[in-house]
């Protein structure tokens, strides 16, 4: 429906409008108006027979998909370190061993107190 060079221009305008950091600023309002003006121009040229809202919805979806396709990482993500079972269960094993150590220590007799040195 929309040529790719027109779609790339519209997607750039959509990106500035949709991902603006401050949606209440004058820059956001200006970029929104630029996007809507470009969208109205494209609707006049390529959207005959389609309502503006339907054209806007499909064009916005196409912009989103185009931006997603262009957002490719320049380098592959770092490889994750392969964890062994021991690494995963280590805190649990430490807790179990510490409880076992406490249980294996002899308890003092109930009526004896530690003597000061």
What pLDDT digit, counting tens, does each position of 96-117 carry?
A: 455 445 555 555 555 556 666 5
pLDDT tens digits, 16-67:
888 888 888 899 999 999 999 999 999 998 888 899 999 999 999 999 889 8
62 Rama class: left (phi>0) / alpha (psi -120 to 50) / beta: alpha
Distance, in Å, from the CA atom of 90 to the CA atom of 37, rounded to the nearest integer, reads 60
């Amino acid at each position: 429906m929309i040529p790719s060079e027109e779609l790339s221009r519209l997607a750039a305008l959509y990106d500035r409008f949709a991902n603006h950091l401050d949606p209440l600023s004058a820059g956001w309002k200006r970029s929104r108006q630029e996007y809507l003006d470009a969208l109205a121009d494209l609707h006049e040229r390529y959207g005959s027979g389609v309502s503006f809202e339907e054209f806007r919805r499909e064009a916005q979806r196409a912009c989103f998909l185009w931006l997603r396709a262009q957002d490719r990482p320049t380098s592959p993500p770092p490889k994750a370190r392969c964890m062994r079972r021991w690494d995963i269960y280590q805190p649990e094993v430490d807790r179990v061993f510490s409880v076992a150590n406490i249980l294996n220590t002899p308890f003092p007799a109930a009526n004896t107190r530690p003597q000061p040195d």
